Each structure stands twice: as C-alpha cells, then as structure tokens.
Chains A and B, each alone.
Chain A
C-alpha cells in the first residue's frame, strides 16, 4: 500500500516525516506508540475469545500427541506403518518437514540481519519462536523412533557410560544429532537474548505485581546501560554471524542422512543445497501462515506491512524455483547416469503407485508458485494464506516422495512392498502440529511477538544524525 494514499497533498512536515520513515513501518509511529501497540497484546487483562478458541483446538491436538506417545512407549514402534523395506517413513518425513520449517526463523533473524534488511525487524521475533517450536517438534520424531528414548542416550551422545560404548562418529545420523542439538541450543540462546530488553520493557509497564516479578526475573535486571548495549549489540551480531553457517549446515547434514547412503534417489550431490532451499521455502510459507492471522487479529498491520508480505512471497518464489530446479536435476541425472536403478527410481516416481503424490508436489512446488510473479496475487492476503498452506503440503509431499518411493522399490524385487501410515502415524503428526500451535498461542499471549526495541530503532526519532541540525 502506498503510504501517501492517505494524504492527497502532504504538508512539508508530513513529507519530511515520510522521507525519514523506512518503508517497513507505517509512518507516524513514535517510541511510545510502538511500545504500546506491542505490549498491549501481552499486558491486556482481556484475552480475546479467538485466542481461547485457537488454543482449545491446539490443546486437543496436543492431547492426541500425548495419547500417541503413551501408546507408542507402552506398545512399541510396531504401531507405526513403517516396516521393511520402508524402514523410515512418517518419523523422518515429519522430522525433515519440521526442521525445514524452522530454518526460515534463523534466516530472518541472522542472515537478513547481516544483510541489513530492515524488514526483518518486525517478523524476526515470532519467526525465531517458530524455529524453536518447530525444532522441538522435529526432535521428537527421531527420539521416539528409537522406541525407548531413555536408552537412546548412549547411542547418540558421547558420555562415559559403564558399557564403555561410544557413538559411531562416522555416521550421518550422529552428525544429525549434533547438528540439530546445536541448532536448537543456539536458536534458544538467540531468541532469549533478543527478548531480554523487551522483558525489561514489560517489567516496567506491567501493572500487576505478579507480572512485574515474573518479567523482572526474566529480564535479568536489564537497565539499558550504554556499555551493556554495546556488548549486547556485539553479541547479537556475533550470534548472527555464527548462526548463518550453522543454519546452512543443519539442513545439509539432514540431507547427508540420505545422500551418504547408496540408494537411488538419495545418493545425489545436489541434496545439500536443494534441501537448504526447500527448508527456507517451507519455512517462509509457515512464517506467512502465522503472520497473516497474527497481523489481522491483533491489528499489527502497521508493523507487518504489505512490504513484508511482498518480500516473503518473493523469497518463496526464489527458493521455490531452486527446489523446482532440484526436481529437474534429479530427473535429468536419473536419465544421464544410465544406471538402470536410477532410471527405474525416476520412472517409478513418475508412474508408480505413488505417482499422484509426485505430480501433486510438482503442481505445487514448480507450477503453483509461478503465481507469485503477479503483484495482484502478492496483494491478495486470503489467497496468499491458502497458497502458503499449500506450499507446506507440497514440501511435506516432497519428503514423502523422496523417502518412500526410494525405499519401497529397493534393489531386490522380492522385498518390494507398499507403505501406508497407520492412525498412530497420523496421530503423532497431527499431535506435533497441536504442540506447535499450543506453544505458539502461549507465546503470543505472554511474550512480545514483535521485537519492541528493534522496532524503536526504526522509528524516525531514533536517528541521532538527522536530528542534529541545530
């Protein structure tokens, strides 16, 4: 939207204000109005009814997760549909899907910070929260796939146990453990560090004694001293610099789980970049899925502007095209390799029993995203919401196709079989969506969903140089 639309002939003051306001925030905001708009969501006494409804749905799904996990631990992983030859199915599909979603949060908070992209400011906080919750959901799948996670510690983590056993460090699965646990830890540190100055704001503005105490404890006594800010900013920049290669490494390592094996359809050098692009693509779709209701229901359109929506759509377009290139590349090399196994794998994907999923994913990730070229589509919020949900479906299908079609027709035709998920597979998947949404609802109710102090830095008042004309 054109900010000048409201003013047919802007007065000199208005024109000056517009000139000083970056295009990522609606003009006219001050330190106080920015703070007030964001803290109001948290500090208000009245929780909107819609919040309760949303949380209720999420909570029901969360209970489905509890029930599934309970049954899984009592009965064993036989309740899932995966069996030889499809030894990996929903557990790894959902793991990769969730961890990929998380990547957009780190991209926004770290990489866009290094590139000095101001539009990241109003979406980084909840995108980081999304990362954290998505990593939590992702981590549950491989852990529970071990069947008895309390015994898994000695396979996964190097600690001196009484059996004298050590993990196999030459296995991509162990690399995965280190990559994901490092990623989860660094994301949590980054997120909490970013929250502290805002928690101090909440501490100072809270009316109830309990809120003052709780936010006060979490704010660690932050007082905004110049020396503290200097170290804080240095740390923030360093963490961003550290997280940038980290986020690229995490999905590369996830792709090694497949690429290091010798299975047709997995053993491909394009996997790391193709997985990273797919992760960012699906992650931005999830940010969009969360941002659209958030800005509408909480009236945050001034901060999450159309500019943000457009930029996110463009990132999805670019990364989606890289993913589509990955599909083309897979098909090309299946033919170019002249390996009968590779050729059969691709032929089976395109025409075999799971072909409908393959073509759906091509329809979404290669064809549908071409809609993002059009400005009228990028301006259409309800349509974008639906498209972003479809992108998430498409990326889930991608992982399904990669994992299941390569496994169900392996080298020995005598062991060929079909894979079908059971209701417990679905229960677990739907349950993690419930966990994710429940955490997200709690987050927007109790913590500032937009980084307040960073928003203050982009209001025109914050500039020291421009004001020193006297």
Chain B
C-alpha cells in the first residue's frame, strides 16, 4: 500500500501501475476522483440499469395496486363511471415509480459495494485513518499475478509516495 498527498499523484501512480501490468489493485481517497475510473480501468456500474428496472417495477406495481383495489377488491359503482379511471391513478403511480427507483438506487449501491462490511484489512494500516481526511492510497493486492513482495514494494517506491506499508490480512 502506497500513500500519496494529492489526488493527482494517486491518479498518476494508478496509471503507471496499470501500465506496468498490475491488475488487482484498488485506490482509496477522501474524495471521489473521476479520473481514477480510467486509471484503474474500472467498468461502468450496472446501477443505472437496476434503478430503471426498480422504477418500472414501482410504477407497474403502483398502478396495478390501484386497479386491483378499485376495480377488483372493492369496486364501487358511482353513477356508472368507469372503475379503472386511470387519469386519477396517475399521481400515485408517479410516486410509487419514484419510490421504487430511489429504494433501488440506495440499497442497490450498498449491495453492489458489499457494504456494510465491518472488517477490512486496509484498516489495519495505521496511516489509513487519514484516508478519510487528506491522504490518497494505492493498494496492490497479493492476489495480483504480478505481485512479488519486494519487487512490488520497490515499484511503488519509484513513484515518490509519502510511505509504503504492508497490509496485514
């Protein structure tokens, strides 16, 4: 794990590490850094698709609920007016669409990120407490095919980090 002072240094280090052939790595930062997506070659997230599906499910569910309640479960004939009076169902359908999409966005994000997760090895490094304030970290995992303890350490040191440390499992 290498520690950097600026987001620019982290992005540069991540790019170099990827060019050097490392694949299993992660970066940690106190702010979102858009450039890291490219530097680490992150795939686009599936979240938008899930949210779309959640919204559609919410909308259909809300509309069908109203149809069922007003026309099947408790039909009330008011002067022969249609039971499925859809224009009147629009506001609630809209709200359930929004609710479905928002719940999917919120819970989907945590589920895809596998959070809450009470334990993670990176927290074993003392310097990592600053990852939520002003320091930027690049971690190359031992699972990486090119990982070799001393060589990887040397490689990280070539990028002028503030410090390099081993992450205990």
Residues of A participating in the B interface, judged by any CB pair closer than 8 Å: 30-32, 35, 158, 164-167, 169-170, 172, 174-175, 178-179, 182, 185-186, 189-190, 193, 197, 200-201, 203-205, 220-235, 238-239, 242-243, 245-246, 249, 253, 256, 453, 456-457, 461-465, 467-468
Query: B39-98: which residues lie under 8 A (CB-CB) from chain A?
Result: 40, 42, 45, 47-48, 51, 55, 65-66, 69-70, 73-74, 85, 88-89, 91-92, 94-96, 98
- Is the pair A200, B73 in contact by a Cβ cutoff of 8 Å? no
CB distance from B124 to the nearest CB of A (A): 12
A-B contact pairs, 20 of them (CB 8 A): A31-B134, A158-B65, A164-B73, A170-B88, A182-B99, A204-B129, A205-B132, A205-B133, A220-B117, A225-B26, A229-B32, A230-B32, A230-B42, A234-B109, A235-B47, A235-B105, A453-B32, A456-B134, A461-B6, A462-B31
Q: For the complex, give the distance between the alpha carbons of A225 and B116 in Å.
A: 13
CB distance from B168 to the nearest CB of A (A): 15
- Is the pair A464, B8 in contact by a Cβ cutoff of 8 Å? yes
Using Cβ atoms and an 8 Å threshold, which residues of chain B touch A182?
A: 95-96, 98-99, 102
Known interface pairs A182-B98, A223-B120, A231-B112; A462-B7 also in contact (CB < 8 Å):
yes
| Residue from B32, B91, B129 having most chain A Cβ neighbours under 10 A | B32
- Is the pair B26, A226 in contact by a Cβ cutoff of 8 Å? yes
Known interface pairs A174-B92, A226-B37; A201-B48 also in contact (CB < 8 Å):
no
**Interface status of B21 (Cβ within 8 A of chain A):** no
**Interface status of B110 (Cβ within 8 A of chain A):** yes
CB distance from A48 to the nearest CB of B (A): 24
Q: For the complex, give the distance between the alpha carbons of A456 and B34 in Å.
A: 14
- Is the pair B132, A201 in contact by a Cβ cutoff of 8 Å? yes
- Is the pair A457, B42 in contact by a Cβ cutoff of 8 Å? no
Using Cβ atoms and an 8 Å threshold, which residues of chain A touch B45?
A: 230-231, 234
* Among all A-B residue pairs, the 9 with the closest Cβ atoms: A31-B134, A220-B116, A166-B69, A235-B109, A467-B8, A175-B91, A229-B32, A221-B117, A170-B88
Closest B residue, CB atoms, query A193: B106
Instruction: Say what secondary structure dominates the interface of chain A.
Output: helix
CB distance from A301 to the nearest CB of B (A): 22
Q: For the complex, give the distance between the alpha carbons of A231 and B114 in Å.
A: 11
Closest B residue, CB atoms, query A171: B88
- Is the pair A189, B106 in contact by a Cβ cutoff of 8 Å? yes
